[in-house]
Amino acid sequence: MYVFAASVRPVETFTPSWGNILSGDFVTLTCDAGSAAQDNQTYYWYKDDKVLNITQRDFTIPSASQRDNGEYKCRTRTSDMSLTTRLKIQDCECSGV
């Protein structure tokens, strides 16, 4: 399971640190709006600059695949757009043969 936090403030943090994400992995991206967030905040997620139908703080991909590759961003109604998070899914953890 991988959890990434996209901060709406110059800095992005990823928890755990970036590693190889394989097809089938459970991935969660979290929009950290910092002090701009409020309890009932609506979140807006974007993939490759197209709005997604996700309005919660966490965006979960239950089984990652190649179609999930891309650049993700988020914002809230009261915050600026986050920095871009690039997600790259690998088909396998292959070592040189």
The domain segmentation of the chain, as residue ranges, is 2-90
Q: How many CA atoms lie within 13 A of 65 on its CB side?
A: 3
2-90 has which CATH code? 2.60.40.10
CB atoms near residue 41 (< 10 Å):
16
Q: What is the pLDDT of residues 11-31, one digit of tens each?
A: 344 444 456 788 888 888 888
Q: Which residues pair with 46 in a beta bridge?
A: 51, 73
Work out the pLDDT band at 52, boundaries 50, 70, 90: very high
Question: Which pLDDT band, with edges at 50, 70 and 90, does 9 fall under?
Answer: very low
pTM of the model as a whole:
0.76
